[in-house]
Amino acid sequence: MIFQKRKQKILQILEQAGEADIHQLAVELGTSEITVRRDLNSMAADGMLYRTHGGATKIDPLMGAKAFENKAAVNVKAKDAICRRAADEINDGDIIFMDCGSTVYRLCQFIRNKKIKVITNSLPVVYELQNSQVSINLIGGEVDRDRQAVHGKIAEEHIGKYRAAKAFLGVDGISVNGLFAQSENEASITLALATNSKHTYILCDAGKIGKETYLKFAELSLVNTIITDYDGPEVALFKEKGVVVLLVGGT
């Protein structure tokens, strides 16, 4: 069955049932689970459905925010290249922070066999690293359903009890003027994780470089290293500010 027909069938199933898991779809489509995952990621990136852990749900027109998995399915090549390089910075025995960013989430696939401890506020990261070599510490607090993450004052207090060798974080925008976010909750968590880490890495694709949103939550000095696929004029400015920039190919 070609992709267009599979796509139509998937949408029909979701319209009738509201949701479906990957195994169910593979059986009904007569194809492999790998093919179904690829189809769902493509359809999510096009805004045709919401990806969930293990499957998909139909679009709710009343929900304005993108589901977490939709963001994770966008610009996959660049994100994977960034995260593959980030994984090279992680050694057995490390204790690391990982936030709820969609790029940071894709780091999971490259660290499953590392004997490390991950402290995170991201539910998808926890799900992805289950049954791996990684020891997981889930930050406690209020669960944000749309972002599939834990936020709030209690979460910040939890983070304050720990120290990590490295933090791998995402931002909505970064420039020589500082770090920017769309959400105060996420900004507070990112700031707490960076503050309690010896070395802070920002993982971001080219679309985040030079972008400044309405909320500036930290100076660039908070960052030690940026890992990105962006190779433009901003890189030289970052380096002048003392930030290490690791460039990767991802397009």
What's the confidence (pLDDT) of residue 145? 78
What's the confidence (pLDDT) of residue 73? 57
Classified as helix, coil or strand, 5 is: helix
What's the confidence (pLDDT) of residue 251? 46
Within 98-232, where are the H helices? 102-105, 108-111, 123-129, 153-160, 184-195
Whether residue 84 is predicted with pLDDT greater than 50 in this model: the reply is yes
| pLDDT digits 0-9 by tens, 184-201 | 989 999 999 999 999 999
Contact predicate 125/98, CB 8 Å: yes
| pLDDT digits 0-9 by tens, 106-152 | 999 999 999 999 999 999 999 889 889 999 999 999 888 777 899 99
Topology adopted by domain 76-247: Rossmann fold (3.40.50)
Residue 144 and residue 218: Cα distance in Å, rounded?
A: 23
Per-residue confidence band for 10, with pLDDT thresholds at 50, 70 and 90: very high
| pLDDT digits 0-9 by tens, 161-184 | 999 999 999 998 999 999 999 889
Q: Give mean pLDDT, residues 49-74.
A: 63
> CATH topology of 3-65 equal to that of 76-247?
no
- What mean pLDDT is reported for the chain? 89
Q: Give mean pLDDT, residues 33-62.
A: 77
Q: List the chain domain ranges.
A: 3-65, 76-247
Q: CATH top-level class for 3-65?
A: mainly alpha
What's the confidence (pLDDT) of residue 65? 38
What percent of the chain has pLDDT above 90? 64
Nearest alpha-carbon partner for 219 in 164, 176, 158, 155: 176
What percent of the chain has pLDDT above 70? 91
